[in-house]
Amino acid sequence: MTIRPADQVPTTDPRPLSLVDLTACLELADNREWPYEDRKWEFLLRVGQGYGIVDAAGKLAASAVLTRLDGVAAISMVLVADRYEGRGLGKRIMRHVMAEAGDSIVTLYATSYGRPLYEKLGFEAASGCDVFLGGFTGTAEHTTRPATAADLPAIRRLDAEVLGIDRTHVLDRLPEYADHIRVLERDGSITGYAAATRAMSTQDYTQIGPVIAADEADARALIGDLAAGGRIRIDLDPAQSELPTWCKENGLEVLFQATSMVVGGVPLPGDRTRLFAPLLPAIG
């Protein structure tokens, strides 16, 4: 077999990616039969730092995004073009972004396909993730209300309390990314919030997340008010006692499963019993 120059394993170091590289990222995702998640890629390249390895033809051969979150660093969008599969690019770009994370706690969500690589790099399973998809048949409770700009400081405080980190730079962009944000109030204070986003321009469903609430009943209220009558995706920890069952009873099915992993098995900060669904698995 003749190896074309473009198919020779790139030896260049990973370089930063920006919004200028959005089309190249989407082409790489399409090469691996990932969905056309243009809004998601754009959001992540705005709030995080992308890295890529480029081949001799100038094509993006591998990618990853590192989102720094106040002592926690989330890795996502780890992709290698099919023509370079099994040739070390995944390990190389992962080692690069892990080094860029410095002393931060490093976390990611892994499918069964990527998990062996991540385990070799020191990641350990922290929790499960069931990805639910389907037409939501539940009804809205109308106990929550649309968020306003005036609610953003309270949302930031609640988010920091639950996750144990300051995600201001992410949450400040949430209103322009999410299609709907709702809050739940108790005694004049915001005790929960959730967002719904049509993350792909061509998708036929809405991603629900984050969902932060005092308990599962409040989480259901937020989800129901965002999801009623629509086709949704929501990512849930199967260890939650009732919420996954409730989703199944209301028209959703598990599409696939993933694993939340952390380097060295270090516990993530905060009170994550109140985090019922991540903003994105790419961020948490």
Asked if residue 243 is part of any domain, the answer here is: yes
Shared domain for 141 and 93, answered yes or no, is no
Q: What is the pLDDT of residue 2?
A: 43
Shared domain for 74 and 141, answered yes or no, is no
Q: What is the pLDDT of residue 52?
A: 98
- pLDDT at residue 169 above 70? yes
Shared domain for 139 and 272, answered yes or no, is yes
Q: How many domains does the chain have?
A: 2
Shared domain for 167 and 247, answered yes or no, is yes
Q: 231-236 and 123-135: which strand pairing?
A: antiparallel
Q: What is the pLDDT of residue 3?
A: 47
Shared domain for 94 and 191, answered yes or no, is no
Shared domain for 10 and 93, answered yes or no, is yes
Q: What is the pLDDT of residue 9?
A: 86
Shared domain for 145 and 273, answered yes or no, is yes
- pLDDT at residue 1 above 50? no
Asked if residue 213 is part of any domain, the answer here is: yes
Identify the CATH number of the domain in which residue 199 sits: 3.40.630.30
Shared domain for 137 and 214, answered yes or no, is yes
pTM for this structure?
Answer: 0.92
- pLDDT at residue 202 above 80? no
Quick count: other Cβ atoms within 10 Å of Cβ 63?
Answer: 27
Segment 113-150, tens digit of pLDDT: 999 999 999 999 999 999 999 999 999 989 999 999 99
Q: What is the pLDDT of residue 201?
A: 55
Asked if residue 116 is part of any domain, the answer here is: no
Give pairs for 165-172: CB < 8 Å, separation 24+: 165/69, 165/70, 165/71, 165/72, 165/269, 165/270, 166/69, 166/70, 167/69, 167/70, 167/283, 169/47, 170/47, 170/67, 170/69, 170/279, 170/283
Q: What is the pLDDT of residue 31?
A: 96
Domain with 252, as residue range(s), is 131-261+268-277
Shared domain for 57 and 173, answered yes or no, is no
Asked if residue 30 is part of any domain, the answer here is: yes
**Contact (Cβ atoms closer than 8 angstroms) between residue 163 and residue 272:** yes
Asked if residue 111 is part of any domain, the answer here is: no
